[in-house]
């Protein structure tokens, strides 16, 4: 039940932005991301709310696909971001924007039981959270009823990494 709660809370946060949005300045998207520190791809969902002609607020969740580490250690890595977008170029369906914001990263490691020959040591779980700052840029191209989106941002924290993402956004 715990993993479900950890997944549900960010989703509720993302969708709660829609309550304040009008039909033309709220969009919801999904796509793929790649983090250079974890060196793994991930799935991304995001919500974007227009504040003014040049300013937007966004929130996203990235869950990275992790593989088993040495000695059967399972690892989980996810990040939640709250960003502001400053739109500095808009022409013929193309929007270019700067990104700045806050990052929350959660790392979790599950260690297996160990048979020492004298007995079995129980498995343990270790979690670590990191807060950081985001800085980057994005492109959005309106393609009919959806937009193609690509973002590059750097996360400044103890878990710093370059994150490259691409996906689709649909306005609501």
Structural domains for the chain: 2-171 (2.40.160.20)
Q: What is the mean pLDDT of the chain?
A: 86
Reported as a single tens digit per residue, the pLDDT across 44-90 is 999 999 999 999 999 999 999 987 666 677 888 999 999 999 999 99
Q: What is the gyration radius of the CA atoms in the chain, in angstroms?
A: 18
Predicted confidence (pLDDT) at residue 6 exceeds the cutoff of 60? no
- End-to-end CA distance of the chain: give it in Å, rounded: 31
Residues 6+ apart with CB under 8 A from 12: none
Predicted confidence (pLDDT) at residue 1 exceeds the cutoff of 50? no
Reported as a single tens digit per residue, the pLDDT across 151-160 is 999 999 988 9
């Amino acid at each position: 039940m715990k993993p479900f709660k950890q997944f549900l809370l960010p989703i509720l946060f993302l969708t709660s932005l829609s309550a304040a949005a009008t039909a033309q300045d709220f969009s919801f998207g999904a796509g793929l991301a790649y983090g250079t520190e974890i060196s793994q791809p991930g799935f991304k969902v995001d919500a974007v709310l227009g504040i003014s002609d040049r300013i937007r607020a966004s929130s996203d969740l990235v869950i990275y696909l992790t593989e088993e580490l040495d000695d059967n250690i399972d690892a989980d890595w996810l990040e939640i971001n709250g960003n502001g977008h400053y739109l500095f170029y808009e022409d013929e369906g193309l929007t270019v924007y700067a990104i700045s914001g806050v990052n929350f990263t959660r790392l979790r490691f599950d260690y297996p039981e160990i048979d020492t020959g004298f007995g079995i040591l129980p498995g343990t779980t270790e979690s670590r959270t990191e807060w950081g700052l985001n800085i980057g840029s994005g492109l959005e191209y309106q393609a009919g009823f959806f937009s193609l989106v690509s973002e590059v941002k750097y996360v400044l924290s103890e878990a710093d990494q370059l994150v490259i993402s691409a996906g689709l956004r649909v306005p609501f």
